[in-house]
């Protein structure tokens, strides 16, 4: 499925990025994502406004992890966002993120983008 969204050059960049980060950092990043997703899920279940400061902090962390994954490459980021818009997030995240959580986080991210 990755070939549907990423160019061959982007896939090669991602492969090189993974190699440069190393296995330990990749494992830590996966744990960081799991922790972050659980925190967002808790806030969503509590009914926390996505524009609230706690959610803004989580949204900033979300962006930090995306930046680490993409290496700041705008094209890779664009491909990643397109994939999440068109595919089921549950399928992409091994059921860690469902559509409701994804949309909730998008509201928090939109609030960050509006405030700069």
Predicted confidence at residue 116, as pLDDT, reads 61
Predicted confidence at residue 98, as pLDDT, reads 87
pTM of the complete model: 0.85
Predicted confidence at residue 55, as pLDDT, reads 95
Q: What is the DSSP string of 40-107?
A: HHHHHHHT--TTSHHHHHHHHHHHHHHHHHHTT-HHHHHHHHHHHHHS-HHHHTTTSS-HHHHHHHHH
pLDDT in tens, 87-104: 888 887 877 888 899 899
- Give pLDDT < 70 ranges for the chain: 116
């Amino acid at each position: 499925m990755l070939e549907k969204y990423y160019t061959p050059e982007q896939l090669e960049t991602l492969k090189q990025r993974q190699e440069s980060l190393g296995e330990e950092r990749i494992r830590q990043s996966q744990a960081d994502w799991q922790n972050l997703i659980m925190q967002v899920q808790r806030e969503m279940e509590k009914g926390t406004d996505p524009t609230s400061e706690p959610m803004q902090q989580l949204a900033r962390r979300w962006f930090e992890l995306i930046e680490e994954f993409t290496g700041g490459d705008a094209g890779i980021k664009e491909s990643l966002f397109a994939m999440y818009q068109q595919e089921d997030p549950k399928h992409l995240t091994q059921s860690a993120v469902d559509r409701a959580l994804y949309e909730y986080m998008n509201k928090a991210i939109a609030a960050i983008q509006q405030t700069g």
